[in-house]
Amino acid sequence: MTITHATGYAVTDPKDYLNFQLKKYELEPLADDRVTVAVEVCGVCGSDHHTLSGGWGPWVTDFIVSGHEVIGKVVEVGSKVTEFKVGQRVGVGAQVASCMKCKACLNDNENYCKLKTDGYNTKWWAYDNHDHQGGYSTHLRAMEKFVFAIPEELKSEDAASMLCGGLTVYSPLVRNGTGPGKKVGVVGLGGLGHYAVLFGVALGAEVTVFSRSDAKKADALAMGAKRFIATTAGFEQDLEKEFDLIIVTASSSKLPLDELLSTLNIDKKLVFVGLPDEGLSNLTSQTLSSNGAALASSHLGNKGEANDMLKLAAEKGVKPWINVIPMKDAAKAIKAVEDSSVRYRTILVQDIEPLP
């Protein structure tokens, strides 16, 4: 008998975004290429706060069950699913579907499909426009393509936040050649930044963390960073043409962008994975022309990158810095994101009794 409904911690009003109430709702159909996952743990991402509170704009769905860093068990598979079996432990990240037909999808860039279905507050745009809800819940569905096998060596609570937070930085790291002999700068040490350090180091690069103050210096070095630089006046002076890549995980528009760009070697990229809402008004092309620098952005990663990342994490023992709490305490986790007190990711553990 196909599962038809899930129960999740739902927010029903962006003005009351810390008010999670259990709610039962209909799942999207189990199409032949989809997998149903019973949620075991779910990470809490900065996106959850931005979306629930309306900071990223009006809601797409009437209510939101957030959460897009899920580890769980396969409980159903569609008729054409070949990669997964019922009972298998799997992960689902911040995307659950794409059109599978566009230039991006046909070239292993399904994470850039214009009709992608995100982890929540979204619809199956390329299909029946059914609402999709996320992982602060008992169950969710995703296309097989967006489900990942989890290596045995990884604990569920460690693997969960890799599927958004980890992949978001892993993809630009590997697409820009991070490895032994390369120097990577990481700007901002939050959930994403901490993964950029961990995976940068795991890939063999020398990592430098930039932060506004020295407050997180000890953490950065403990994560494996070689250097920690507080971005006070003149910080860039000894770093001319130093880095092969800079990943910006901070979302402030007050970044010292000119100074950071000046620390890039020739023809290298500064990649934003945080999103300053206010734009980059201080940027000029003269800023970029002194070293041929490029300013770029990046969105998640593709399936191959997700699988490679999980394999690397298993091989190198990459262990995120997480707090594990019951799912009913989701509001506390959102608050910790909001006031930047989380060190460095919260993982919610399943505790829902499904509503009848």
| C-beta of residue 145 within 8 angstroms of C-beta of residue 100 | yes
Query: Taking the complex as a whole, how short is the minimal distance between the CB of residue 64 and its own copies, in angstroms?
Result: 20
Query: Taking the complex as a whole, how short is the minimal distance between the CB of residue 141 and its own copies, in angstroms?
Result: 25
Query: Taking the complex as a whole, how short is the minimal distance between the CB of residue 296 and its own copies, in angstroms?
Result: 3
Which of residues 20 and 243 has its CB atom nearest to its own copies in the complex?
A: 243
Which residue is associated with the tokens 């990592």? 207
| C-beta of residue 37 within 8 angstroms of C-beta of residue 72 | yes
Q: Greatest CA separation found in the chain? A: 66
Which of residues 113 and 150 has its CB atom nearest to its own copies in the complex?
A: 113
| C-beta of residue 241 within 8 angstroms of C-beta of residue 247 | no
Among 58, 164, 166, 165, smallest CA distance to 121 is for 58
Which of residues 275 and 355 has its CB atom nearest to its own copies in the complex?
A: 275
| C-beta of residue 210 within 8 angstroms of C-beta of residue 222 | no
Which of residues 292 and 317 has its CB atom nearest to its own copies in the complex?
A: 292
The DSSP code for 36 is E
Half-sphere exposure of 129 toward its Cβ, with a 13 Å CA cutoff?
1
| Alpha helices by DSSP H, 16-61 | 46-52
Distance CA 231, CA 175 (A): 26
Distance CA 88, CA 303 (A): 18
Query: Taking the complex as a whole, how short is the minimal distance between the CB of residue 227 and its own copies, in angstroms?
Result: 18
Residues 6+ apart with CB under 8 A from 248: 187, 188, 255, 260, 270, 271, 272, 273, 274
Which of residues 129 and 297 has its CB atom nearest to its own copies in the complex?
A: 297
Which of residues 19 and 253 has its CB atom nearest to its own copies in the complex?
A: 253
Classify the C-alpha dihedral 25-146-71-83 as positive or negative: positive
| Alpha helices by DSSP H, the chain | 46-52, 156-160, 165-175, 191-202, 217-223, 257-262, 285-289, 303-316, 330-338
Query: Taking the complex as a whole, how short is the minimal distance between the CB of residue 280 and its own copies, in angstroms?
Result: 5
Which of residues 91 and 274 has its CB atom nearest to its own copies in the complex?
A: 274
| C-beta of residue 121 within 8 angstroms of C-beta of residue 66 | yes
Which of residues 85 and 103 has its CB atom nearest to its own copies in the complex?
A: 103
Q: What distances in angstroms separate CA 163 from CA 216, 250, 258, one per listed residue?
A: 24, 19, 32
Query: Taking the complex as a whole, how short is the minimal distance between the CB of residue 123 and its own copies, in angstroms?
Result: 18
Question: What residue ranges bind its own copies (CB under 8 A)?
Answer: 102-104, 107, 109, 112, 114, 175, 240-241, 265-267, 269, 272, 274-277, 279-299
Residue type (1 letter), 302: N
Which of residues 61 and 290 has its CB atom nearest to its own copies in the complex?
A: 290
Which of residues 113 and 229 has its CB atom nearest to its own copies in the complex?
A: 113
Query: Taking the complex as a whole, how short is the minimal distance between the CB of residue 154 and its own copies, in angstroms?
Result: 27
Classify the C-alpha dihedral 179-236-197-291 as positive or negative: negative
Query: Taking the complex as a whole, how short is the minimal distance between the CB of residue 137 and its own copies, in angstroms?
Result: 27
Query: Taking the complex as a whole, how short is the minimal distance between the CB of residue 242 and its own copies, in angstroms?
Result: 9
Query: Taking the complex as a whole, how short is the minimal distance between the CB of residue 241 and its own copies, in angstroms?
Result: 5
